[in-house]
Structure 1
Amino acid sequence: MSTVPRRFEILLVPEHVEDRGGASVEDSAVRTAVVEMTGELGASGYPRYAGHGLVADVDPDTRTVEALLVDGSELDYGLTALVRDWQPD
């Protein structure tokens, strides 16, 4: 039985960038937020996470964002949401 993570970091990154100047996709994020499990299931059926203006339904097995609101609105075209396990500094 796998445990569902309590926190994730969500990174909003541009889908298409001509030249990242050697930066990784993660380093090219225009916004990041640590989100915490709310205890609810989202409309997608996956656990809901929220924090710092982001509300996301995340599949904890595949680390895929299934639904996302950024400051109450849908994600802008041209941005992709990536999930990474949160590791405190």
Structure 2
Amino acid sequence: MTTHPQRFTVLLVPEHFEDPQPATVEAGAVRSALVEATGEQGETGYPRYAGEGVIADIDPRTRTVEAVLVDGAELDYGFQAKIAP
């Protein structure tokens, strides 16, 4: 049986932001949200996490946000969702 993390912090950062330093990624975020596992599987096939106005399908193995809704809407162009280090 594979267990997945029960929570992640999702960071919303400008799309052009590519600094590899974890501290700078967090500092460059325009919003962050602590999301917790819902027990559901998202449309992408990955576990769904929700909290603080963010719903995200996250691949826990690669720590990649596969789909995200922010306050019920798709993420604005020019932004990307990342998992905090």
Alignment TM-score, normalising by the size of structure 2: 0.87
Mapping of 1:1-89 within 5 angstroms?
2-16=2-16, 24-84=24-84
SS of 1:3 mapped into structure 2: coil
SS of 2:24 mapped into structure 1: coil
Percent sequence identity over matched residues? 65
Greater Rg over alpha carbons, structure:
1
SS of 1:82 mapped into structure 2: strand
Alignment TM-score, normalising by the size of structure 1: 0.83
Asked if structure 2 preserves the Cα contact closer than 8 Å seen for 1:10 and 1:34, the reply is: yes
Asked if structure 1 preserves the Cα contact closer than 8 Å seen for 2:13 and 2:82, the reply is: yes
Query: Which whole-Å CA distance do the structure 2 matches of 1:84 and 1:3 have between them?
Result: 19
- Aligned length, in residue pairs: 80
Structure 1 segments (4+ residues) deviating >6 Å: none
- Structure 2 stretches lacking a partner, 5+ long: 18-22
SS of 1:33 mapped into structure 2: strand
Query: Which whole-Å CA distance do the structure 2 matches of 1:62 and 1:51 have between them?
Result: 20
